[in-house]
Structure 1
Amino acid sequence: MSSTPSPFPARMELTGEGLVLRDWAEADVAAMPDLFDHPDIAYWTPIVSPFDEAAARTRLDRARQLRAEGTSILLAITLDGGAPLGEVMLRRAPEGTEIGYAVGPAHRGQGLAARAVRVMAGYAFEELGVANVILELEAENAASVAVAAASGFRLLGVPLIEGEEKGRPYTLQTWGLNRP
């Protein structure tokens, strides 16, 4: 019996909640620094900082590699399949099927992250057949706590995850959402 996860589709586009979640494209590289080169993203996420065009190219290449390996999907959050406004990620991990997200500073306050998380969770439940999905976030990250709550996630009574990223210690809570 193989423990290799089933592969993800080579190309993806998920729609719902007024969003189109689509593959990152070469044309997005120039727009990615405006989305990801921000102190909030540098502080709260493992996304590299500073985030310039070279970092964007590396992220695009890594997204394609992770997809091919069957471990992660990174999709651009858009309203209509056009300009990227942020990113939503699904990662198969030992601790569970995890969703992550980042929304560009100019596009916050529109419910994009919560809507993208719900669409990605729907994909995980319907297409991947998982029983639940998780978010791992810091309790002090009020915006992410709000996204978790708005997406229907509940704080799980599991041990905190402690680590260090970019020289900063962190403690993550695990939030979960079960298949409806």
Structure 2
Amino acid sequence: MSGTPLPFPERIELAGEGLVLRDWTEADLAAMPELFDHPDIAYWTPIVSPFDEAVARARLNKDRQMRAEGTTILLAITVDGRTPLGEVMLRRAPEGAEIGYVVGPAHRGQGLAARAVRVMAEYAFDQLGVGQVVLELEAENAASVAVATKAGFGLLDVPLIRGEEKGRPYALQTWGLRRAL
């Protein structure tokens, strides 16, 4: 197998669990700041803060670059295929695939993140052929721990991932879900 991953499809739309996960488009740029410019998101994620339309444009361009490189995809979480409520990310990783997610503050409490994670995990298993998907999150992030649990992930017995982001140290736990046999 070569060191260069195969590119992801140019367009992706995944449906399941009452959701439609779809590509971000230029039409979403105005909605992205409302979803991502929030203190919780700035604290718990590497997403740029403050988040405005210029940052949204840069994120859309970076999304397209990472997809073309075959490393990462970012999809809008929707219930209707149109209005973005959050984002789910899939990144190829040595463990198989890593999933990340963020839901806009106005749309929390509907199970969107756990459902999006399960749909994305199914894509990773079925379309990418990975054996395991992981979530990396801070134990203190109760909302993310709840998402991991609701999505069927278990805490793995592996070392914490330590680092610093935006001047703040972090220690990430690794949660995993294996492909059903």
Which category describes the TM-score, using the shorter chain as reference length?
Answer: over 0.9
Task: Report the CA distance between 1:50 and its aligned residue.
Answer: 0.3
State whether structure 2 residue 175 is matched by structure 1 residue 175: yes
Q: How does 1:1-180 map to 2 (within 5 A)?
A: 1-180=1-180
Task: Report the CA distance between 1:93 and its aligned residue.
Answer: 2.4
Task: Report the CA distance between 1:3 and its aligned residue.
Answer: 1.6
Cα distance in structure 2, aligned partners of 1:71 and 1:112: 24
| SS of equivalent residue, structure 1 residue 81 | coil
- Structure 2 contact 114–150 (Cα < 8 Å) conserved: yes
Cα distance in structure 2, aligned partners of 1:100 and 1:147: 11
| SS of equivalent residue, structure 2 residue 121 | helix
Task: Report the CA distance between 1:94 and its aligned residue.
Answer: 3.3
- Report the AA paired with residue 10 of structure 1: E
**Residues paired across the two proteins, number:** 180
Cα distance in structure 2, aligned partners of 1:12 and 1:94: 23
- Report the AA paired with residue 167 of structure 1: G
Q: Which runs of 4+ in 1 moved over 3 A?
A: none
| SS of equivalent residue, structure 2 residue 102 | strand
Cα distance in structure 2, aligned partners of 1:87 and 1:120: 11
User: Under a length normalisation based on structure 2, what TM-score does the superposition of the two structures give?
Assistant: 0.98
Which stretches in structure 1 are left out of the alignment for 5+ residues?
none
Cα distance in structure 2, aligned partners of 1:77 and 1:172: 24
Cα distance in structure 2, aligned partners of 1:108 and 1:68: 31
Task: Report the CA distance between 1:116 and its aligned residue.
Answer: 0.1
Which stretches in structure 2 are left out of the alignment for 5+ residues?
none
Task: Report the CA distance between 1:95 and its aligned residue.
Answer: 4.5
Between stretches 136-145 and 88-97, larger displacement belongs to: 88-97
| SS of equivalent residue, structure 1 residue 117 | helix
Q: Cα RMSD between the aligned structures? A: 0.7
Cα distance in structure 1, aligned partners of 2:87 and 2:12: 14
Task: Report the CA distance between 1:15 and its aligned residue.
Answer: 0.3
Cα distance in structure 2, aligned partners of 1:137 and 1:109: 19
